[in-house]
């Protein structure tokens, strides 16, 4: 699911990946409920560049389908933010994502670079969250993408703030969120990318199962830690075969 800077995650996921790595103290409303999870040592948390990170924080069903008990992915509203903060706190306690708990979690979920965000509910409870953001200085995946022939750094969008509640994993929520984020990026004429900690093999396995392509690995300094990130790009849109019969030229 995101990556993090020296001061905290930038825009990634607990299932985050190149979903963005941003400092944990972004901007936003001053008044907001903030759970106070106890800091815990982290041995490698999901990151999605700019935040979107994924890993053990987003284990899904083997068939990749969204569970019948889960609602469809929908646009996040301001009314969802308190529930999203609560889920993020659960993920932080369970998985150590984000590595550094942001001082203003509501603002962290809505960085200035955010283009759109979505949630999924399971059994009537908020269960997953994902965002899409413009690339920002320091994002690794957009840099690797822009180095490809014919590509440019301004043609990417970063998956960020991707996480799924520990109790809601295995229901296809992570996959559904990834597909929705990728579809939105393409609708905007942008190519979705993300990065994830190299140690998050579960997240990498999910991305690769969904057809995301490994662009390469880069190293980043997060405070006292030197970490290695895997950078991924979404596959190109799949062409579906037409169900219409071929048109025949009129006979003369």
Bridge pairing between strands 213-222 and 4-5: unpaired
**Residue-by-residue pLDDT tens, the chain, 252 positions:** 444 433 333 333 444 433 444 434 333 333 344 444 544 433 333 344 333 344 445 555 444 566 667 788 999 999 999 999 999 999 999 988 887 899 999 999 999 999 999 999 999 999 999 999 998 888 899 999 988 877 765 789 999 999 999 999 999 999 999 999 999 999 999 999 999 888 888 889 999 999 999 999 999 887 788 889 999 999 976 444 444 444 444 444
3-state percent helix, strand, coil for the chain, nearest multiple of 5: 25, 30, 45
The answer to whether 59 and 91 have CB atoms below 8 angstroms apart is no
Pinpoint the alpha helices (H) of the chain. 81-95, 105-108, 140-146, 173-187, 201-209
pLDDT tens-digit readout, 26-53: 333 333 444 445 444 333 333 443 333 4
For residue 223, what are its two tokens?
Answer: 């405070």
pLDDT tens-digit readout, 175-221: 999 999 999 999 999 999 999 888 888 889 999 999 999 999 999 88
Measure the CA–CA gap between 162 and 159, rounded to whole angstroms: 7
Determine, yes or no, domain membership for 22. Answer: yes
Determine, yes or no, domain membership for 248. Answer: no
The answer to whether 63 and 139 have CB atoms below 8 angstroms apart is no
pTM of the full predicted structure?
Answer: 0.71
Measure the CA–CA gap between 84 and 125, rounded to whole angstroms: 10
Structural domain that includes position 177: 4-233
Q: Identify which of 9, 106, 23 has the alpha carbon closest to the alpha carbon of residue 51.
A: 9
User: Which residues have a Cβ under 8 Å from the Cβ of 26 and sit 6 or more positions away?
Assistant: 102, 104, 107, 108, 110, 111, 112
The CATH number that applies at residue 98 is: 3.40.630.30
DSSP secondary-structure letter at 153?
A: G
Determine, yes or no, domain membership for 250. Answer: no
- Tell me how many domains the chain contains: 1
Determine, yes or no, domain membership for 145. Answer: yes
Q: Look at residue 77 in the predicted model and tell me its pLDDT.
A: 97
Residue 176's SS3 state is helix
Determine, yes or no, domain membership for 247. Answer: no
Determine, yes or no, domain membership for 245. Answer: no
Determine, yes or no, domain membership for 252. Answer: no
The answer to whether 100 and 7 have CB atoms below 8 angstroms apart is yes
DSSP secondary-structure letter at 103?
A: S
Measure the CA–CA gap between 145 and 185, rounded to whole angstroms: 15
Determine, yes or no, domain membership for 61. Answer: yes
């Amino acid at each position: 699911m995101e990556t993090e800077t020296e001061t905290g995650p930038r825009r990634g996921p607990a299932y985050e990946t190149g979903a963005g790595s941003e400092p944990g103290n972004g901007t936003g409303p001053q008044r907001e409920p903030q759970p106070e999870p106890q800091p815990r040592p982290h041995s490698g948390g999901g990151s999605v560049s700019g935040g979107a990170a994924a890993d053990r924080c987003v284990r899904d069903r083997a068939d990749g389908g969204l569970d019948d008990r889960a609602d469809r992915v929908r646009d996040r509203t301001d009314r969802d933010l308190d529930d999203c903060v609560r889920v993020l706190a659960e993920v932080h306690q369970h998985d150590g994502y984000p590595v550094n708990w942001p001082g203003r979690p509501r603002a962290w979920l809505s960085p200035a670079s955010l283009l759109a965000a979505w949630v999924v509910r399971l059994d009537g409870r908020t269960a997953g969250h994902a965002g899409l953001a413009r690339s920002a200085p320091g994002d690794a995946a957009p840099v690797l993408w822009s180095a490809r022939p014919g590509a440019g750094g301004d043609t990417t969008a970063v998956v960020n703030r991707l996480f799924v509640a520990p109790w809601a994993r295995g229901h296809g929520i992570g996959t559904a969120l990834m597909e929705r984020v990728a579809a939105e990026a393409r609708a905007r004429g942008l190519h979705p990318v993300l990065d994830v900690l190299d140690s998050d093999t579960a997240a990498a396995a999910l991305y690769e199962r969904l057809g995301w392509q490994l662009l390469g690995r880069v190293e980043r300094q997060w405070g006292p830690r030197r970490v290695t990130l895997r950078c991924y790009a979404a596959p190109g849109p799949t062409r579906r075969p037409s169900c219409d019969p071929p048109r025949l030229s009129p006979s003369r």
